[in-house]
Chains A and B, each alone.
Chain A
Amino acid sequence: MSLTTIAVEHLSKTFGHSPVLQDVGFEIRAGERVALVGPSGSGKSTLLRHLVGLTKANRHSDSRVTVMDRCIQRRGRLARGSRAQRCRTGYIFQQFNLVGRLSVMTNVLIGRLGCMPRWRALIGRFTPEEHEMALRSLKRVGLEELAHQRANTLSGGQMQRVAIARVLMQDADIILADEPIASLDPRSAREVMDTLQRINEEDGRTIVVSLHQVDYARDYCQRAIALKHGQVYFDGPIDQLTDIRLAYLYANAELDKPHESRFPASAPTALRVAG
């Protein structure tokens, strides 16, 4: 396997008449921890969705998304066998997307469905080894004692850690996390980011995480890719994403973030002290 695990070339996406991604391209090496930053509406989620084929690129562009040397989509068409390829990529959502009426244990187990034989996936018969693996995954996110509780009884932070356990169950080499901490309180957010970091360091799984809090990106990631108006604005080591560059990144983005521009200039610092 080559060092490059995710390669995106000339990716463009238009919703209706508004371009969301314009000629985006980058490469990510195996084992990296990459933060995807940028103002809301800059195309972070859309970009991540392209990497697993949940969204297809524009038809006429010369785009290509390759994950672990296998083509996921090319010129806006999903490649054959991209479903099987998706088993190797875990996805974490802002809204957790657990199946609320099933137990925590089952929610972790269903991460395995993609790589199970067809008939066994259909009737949902999991082997004892898979049960053991699910328990191990839950233990790694620190929730093994909640295994038999219903998923919709958990707190937000716990739900997101179950979602991480589901990705571990998938044994995914790449974990894509779309705003995983955006709807969590600071403590739960730290727990989730700590868990992701630990998984990256212990297992060497590649992690791409979109964040709108740059502080978290600086604390947890080595590299940042910044998007602005659907284009790559910055791609490099996180310490080179200086405050001045950040100011430019978020400048003229008021249209996308009306609530921030309404605050007086002193408000952000005041809020930070309070937080």
Chain B
Amino acid sequence: MSTATPSSRHWRKPPFITNPLLRWGILIGCVVYAVWALYTLPFDWARIQEGMSRAQRIFSGAFPPSFERSELLIEGLLESFKIAILATLLGLALSVPIAFMAARNIAAKPIYLLGRGLIITARSFHPVIVAILFVKAVGFGPIAGVLTLTIYSIGFVAKMLAERIEEIDWGQVEALRSSGTRYVAVLQFAVLPQIMPRQIGLAMYQLDSNLRASAVVGIVGAGGIGATLMNAFGRYDYAFALAITLVIIAVILVVEAISGRIRRNIW
């Protein structure tokens, strides 16, 4: 009680971690680890210095950006669009049933575990790693890109949709069940209407996300604008590479603005 006497009238924010020993211990531990990691990682300062001048050469070579081979650029961009749209459609078609499987409130336990397993598998690797696998499996080109982004879409859309299904108003389901409606018709009339806005929002988000990712997976050989970019680097055509980069940024800005507006109006 004596500590509560007004020795200081000012309120002080209580520390995030109450125990001072633990608080300082964690802080010192972090600093020590960072220093140790920096010290033990094999940084080769000589090579970094060498690289700096090379980077300078690349950037000076990249200005001004060259749109001379713009038909190649447009071709790559269109291919990226095709990859992204196909992968989004395919991914959505697969993720809706998987989401229904992975929702605890409407799926039986074994099916739920299977659905969750599929989602976890699809989410466990970054699209670039999946793309490398698919490029090895089906060869260079857009097919590998479509397959990669399909997996990527399933991982995200199915997970978010399953979580939305688990949050539905259960009363609407019971209303239909109490009138003797069969299971699939209950899903159709009581569950689907409730998740539809989220479903459309996710589809729009995934489309622009796939477009961004399609540029990345192209770099490892899965087709699209990423492949064009990689080729430009391979030919030391830095001006063209910069042009491609600028166009990618512009396209993604536009697509994100459009999909953002659509999602806002639907939500």
Contact = CB atoms under 8 A, between A and B. Distances in A.
A90 B194 contact: no
Interface in A77-97: 83-91, 93, 95, 97
B189 to A, nearest CB: 5
Query: Which 7 pairs, one residue from A and one from B, show the smallest C-beta to C-beta distance?
Result: A114-B180, A86-B180, A97-B175, A87-B180, A91-B178, A97-B171, A113-B181
Interface in B174-204: 174-182, 184-185, 188-190, 193-194, 196-197
The secondary structure that dominates the B interface is helix
B173 to A, nearest CB: 9
Given A54-B177, A122-B188, A124-B189, A98 B172 contact: yes
A102 interface: yes
Contacts of A101: 193-194, 196-197
11 contacts: A54-B177, A83-B182, A85-B180, A89-B178, A91-B179, A95-B171, A97-B172, A99-B193, A101-B196, A115-B180, A170-B179
Given A89-B179, A124-B185, 6 more contacts: A91-B175, A99-B193, A101-B196, A110-B189, A122-B188, A167-B179
Contact of A97 (B174, B182, B184, B197): B174
A97 B168 CA distance: 12
Q: Residue among A90, A102, A172 with the most chain B CB within 10 A?
A: A102
Contacts of A43: none
Contact of B178 (A84, A86, A95, A124): A86
Nearest to A116: B185
Interface residues of B, number: 21
A52 interface: yes
Interface residues of A, number: 34
A170 B188 CA distance: 18
B179 A99 contact: no
Contacts of A17: none
B236 to A, nearest CB: 57
A121 interface: yes
A124 B185 CA distance: 8
A157 interface: no
B180 A84 contact: yes
A110 B189 CA distance: 8
A122 B182 CA distance: 9
B185 A121 contact: yes
A111 B175 CA distance: 9
A118 B184 CA distance: 9
Interface in A103-144: 106, 110-111, 113-115, 118, 121-122, 124
A106 B176 CA distance: 13
